[in-house]
């Protein structure tokens, strides 16, 4: 269970301080050789996730040295290399199919074998929900990022209204519809699905600050749940108000509520978060 999902399966903004956007404009990264290369590589994530993460990264022109963890077969590695990024690939198994890219075998639950302040950005696409120790992983990301570097996380969006409704009726979220097979644990089990408020706490309590929230897409079926939106917004506000103790808590709760009911979080399929590394 210390391995990542992509190892076993062959791969392995929303809200900003000023705006809400569902899906940043893709950076046009699949052309020529990289398109042919990616045709043979399994992109084991949801539609548009790689394009959205790449667009968020492209908004950081000073970020050129990128760690892709878990990299899997290298679909995202290939996408980044096509635009001149210096990429370090990491996974728990040697699955990388992209030639000429440095690869390190490492477990995301353990200390990462890299020096402090060595990367401008870390991309963790659909990895954190498989970890036994996500807090340790985030702390390691902070250690290896330079001050002002960015962490990009994607994960199944269990805070979406559709997933919350399924959980209310069945006790299971949309991306984990049935019980896990406890007789045969494996790395691709979603053992740690995390909601947006939990992701925010995970990041903000460990030296990061969220700067952008996005989603890969809104599926047509998700719009059917929009009648729940105003009711959920109202109830959340009433509950927050009941337990807010001071002005600082009220301001923080108001921000969390706005983020939680932004379009990417309320309706998006895969949640994508960009966070800045705050250290001197």
pLDDT of residue 20: 39
* 10-residue mean pLDDT series, the chain (280 residues): 42 36 44 50 91 98 98 96 97 94 96 98 96 96 98 98 96 85 77 95 98 98 98 96 91 97 98 96
Alpha carbon distance 76, 30 (integer Å)? 11
Alpha carbon distance 68, 131 (integer Å)? 16
- Look up the pTM and report it: 0.85
Strand spans (E) along 99-195: 103-105, 119-125, 145-156
pLDDT of residue 236: 97
pLDDT of residue 57: 98
| DSSP-derived secondary structure letter, 197 | H
Put the strands of the sheet holding 86-91 in their side by side order: 103-105, 86-91, 65-68, 119-125, 145-156, 270-277, 208-215
Determine which helix (DSSP H) or strand (DSSP E) holds 272, and give its type and residue range.
strand 270-277
CATH class held by domain 5-277: alpha beta
pLDDT of residue 87: 98
């Amino acid at each position: 269970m210390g391995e990542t999902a992509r190892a076993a399966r062959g791969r392995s903004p929303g809200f900003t301080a000023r705006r809400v956007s569902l899906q940043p404009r893709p950076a046009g990264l699949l052309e020529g050789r990289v398109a042919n290369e990616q045709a043979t590589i399994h992109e084991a994530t949801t539609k548009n996730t790689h394009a959205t993460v790449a667009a968020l990264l492209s908004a950081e022109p000073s970020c050129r040295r990128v760690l892709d963890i878990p990299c899997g077969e290298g679909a995202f590695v290939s996408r980044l290399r096509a635009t001149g990024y210096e990429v370090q690939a990491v996974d728990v198994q040697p699955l990388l199919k992209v030639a000429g890219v440095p690869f390190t075998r490492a477990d995301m639950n353990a200390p990462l074998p890299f020096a402090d302040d060595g990367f401008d950005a870390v991309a963790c696409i659909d990895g954190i929900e498989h970890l036994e120790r996500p807090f340790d992983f985030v702390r390691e990301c902070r250690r290896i990022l330079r001050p002002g570097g960015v962490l990009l996380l994607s994960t199944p969006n269990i805070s979406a209204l559709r997933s919350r409704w399924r959980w209310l009726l069945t006790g299971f979220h949309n991306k984990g519809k049935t019980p896990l097979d406890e007789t045969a644990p494996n790395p691709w089990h979603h053992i740690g699905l995390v909601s947006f408020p939990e992701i925010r706490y995970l990041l903000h309590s460990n030296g990061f600050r969220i700067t952008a929230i996005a989603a890969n897409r809104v599926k047509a079926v998700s719009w059917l749940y929009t009648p729940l939106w105003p009711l959920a917004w109202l109830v959340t506000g009433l509950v927050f108000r009941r337990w807010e103790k001071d002005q600082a808590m009220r301001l923080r709760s108001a921000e969390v509520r706005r983020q939680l009911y932004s379009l990417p979080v309320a309706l998006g399929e895969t949640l994508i978060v960009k966070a800045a590394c705050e250290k001197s």
